[in-house]
Amino acid sequence: MSVVAETGPTWVEAWTPAEGAARASALLREQWGVEHTCTWSAPGRVTVIGEHTDYSEGLALPTITPHAIYVAARPREDRRVRVVTDLGDLVEGPGPIWEGDLDMSPQEVDGWPRYVLGLLWALQERGFDGAGMDLAFASCLPPRAGLGSSASILAATALVANDIWRLALGGDEGRAELADACLDAENLAVGTLCGALDPHTILRCGPDEALLLDFADHPTSAVPYPMYFRDYGLGLLVIDTQKPRGDVQQLFRTRRAECAAAAEALGSTTLREVADAPLAARRVEGIMDPTLRRRARHVTAEIERVRLVVNELGGTGPAHERFVAIGKAIYRSHASLELDYEASDPTLDMAVEAAFRAGALGARVSGAGYGGAVVALVRKAQARLAALHIAHGFVDAGMREPRFLWV
């Protein structure tokens, strides 16, 4: 009898905010012998629809996870920065503890501490400054699972700096500026060259809602939508395949360049301009280079899928028909990410197929791709059975058993 059959699928449970804050505070106390003056948290990101559209000034509809990274912090009287995490060997870098100072370049730091120092550097580049700090991170958000965990570290650090440095960046406008600082840190200090999806979602999306993000607006506009799925007995099942992610930085660099080249081939500045113009699909098919044509096809069609899902969420037709239409759009999104954008891999494709066989209304890659997680739209009453079927499928294929999160 398999382990799955004996114990059932493996679930990653979310901590309560009180539990997360207590864990981070205890870690700060144990490591540095000091008490916190503030605690903050930053959730993960799950995209309902709209993947790899942000750096083409497109649209996306993401939400947040109940799983989060928690940080406890205390200001210092010098420029020293000390950080510790409970993730240990699960994160890349010098280990769970790092010490440096605010005057260091982020390029002098390897691994996960570069995100912390990079964010503080990005704020200083924007004219903000303050004293050093001690920080302790505790997380129930799986790292490297396509749920924006690196952006969550940036966001949590930004919230601490806003508090300790008294930056007064409050409300949605202030959160948007913090999100842009996170993007600067990731692109300029870390060097990922990703888009703005993760930080704007993590810092601006509230519980029980999704955000319609428009990246053509500067700053990025965010329109909240209630998570109607829950009102109809549905939810998002996240399948963490635990497959190590490939070279996501190279993926972002290559795709960003290809999308820019595809837009230029059509005489436009961005693929969003192409998507908003008449006969967009016909124009895209006229791109001579087959690779650029596929990239443009994904981005322009994905923007239209975002619009379709938003319209169906707010529609007045029969609920079953609306959610079936949303599920089909999610499946089409994965096919596009697999074939046109080449951001999937066999493990992710297998997870999508397993979710389909388990009765999911829709399923697709979550996040950048090249490993990580799949998100599936399923009925809440069938979530545990669906997870069991999916886990069995992986084990029967001789693969590592996936983990599951419920959003």
Give one DSSP letter per residue of 210-239, joined into a string.
Answer: EEEEETTSSSPEEEEEE-GGGGGTEEEEEE
pLDDT at residue 194 is higher than 90 = no
Percent of the chain whose predicted confidence (pLDDT) is above 90: 83
| Nearest CA among 397, 267, 258, 270 for reference residue 340 | 258
Residues 244-255: what's their mean pLDDT? 83
What is the predicted pLDDT for the residue at 89?
Answer: 67
Give the residue-averaged pLDDT of 369-397. Answer: 93
Q: pLDDT digits over 79-91, tens only?
A: 999 999 998 766 6
The answer to whether residue 51 sits within a structural domain is no
What confidence tens digit (pLDDT) does each residue in 286-304 have?
999 999 999 999 999 999 9
Q: Is residue 9 part of a domain?
A: no
Where does residue 77 rank: exposed (0-12), middle (13-18), buried (19+ CB within 10 A)? exposed
Q: Do 201 and 246 share a structural domain?
A: no
Residues 258 and 200 grouped into a single domain: no
Q: Within a domain: residue 313?
A: yes
Q: Are residues 192 and 241 in the same domain?
A: no
Q: Which amino acid is at 32?
A: W
Claim to verify: residue 171 and residue 113 sit in the same structural domain: yes
pLDDT at position 309 is 96
Task: Establish how many alpha carbons lie within 13 A of residue 129's alpha carbon, considering only the half-sphere containing its beta carbon.
Answer: 8
CATH number at residue 323: 3.30.70.890
Section 203-211 average pLDDT: 94
In this prediction, residue 180 carries a pLDDT of 97
Percent of the chain scoring above 70 in pLDDT: 98
Q: Is the domain of 204 the same as that of 232?
A: no
Structural domain that includes position 134: 14-45+63-208
What is residue 146's predicted lDDT score, i.e. its pLDDT?
Answer: 87
- The answer to whether residue 227 scores a pLDDT higher than 60 is yes
Residue 302 and residue 184 in one domain: no
- Please tell me the distance from the alpha carbon of residue 186 to that of residue 182, in angstroms, as a whole number: 6
93 and 189 part of one domain: yes
In terms of domains, do 142 and 253 share one?
Answer: no
Both 292 and 252 in one domain: the answer is yes
Rounded-to-integer distance, Cα 301 and Cα 197, Å: 18
Name, in order, each residue with C-beta under 8 angstroms of 402's C-beta and a sequence gap of 6 or more.
9, 10, 239, 240, 241, 242, 351, 390, 391, 394
Q: Compute the distance between CA of residue 238 and CA of residue 228 in angstroms, rounded to an integer.
A: 18
Average pLDDT, whole number, for the chain?
Answer: 93
Residues 154 and 235 in one domain: no
- Cβ neighbourhood burial of 103 (10 Å; 0-12, 13-18, 19+): exposed
The pLDDT value given to residue 1: 37
* Residues annotated as catalytic (active site), given as ranges: 198
- Peptide bond preceding 402 in cis form (omega within 30 of 0): no
**Rounded CA separation 72/5 (Å):** 39
User: 98-104 long-range CB contacts below 8 Å, 24 or more apart?
Assistant: 101/132, 102/129, 102/132, 103/79
Is the pLDDT score of 3 beyond 90? no
pLDDT value, residue 211: 96
Neighbours of 252 (CB within 10 A): 20
Domain count of the fold of the chain: 2
The predicted structure's pLDDT at residue 4: 62
What is the rounded distance in angstroms from the CA atom of residue 200 to the CA atom of residue 176? 6
In this structure, what CATH number is given to the domain that contains residue 19?
A: 3.30.230.10
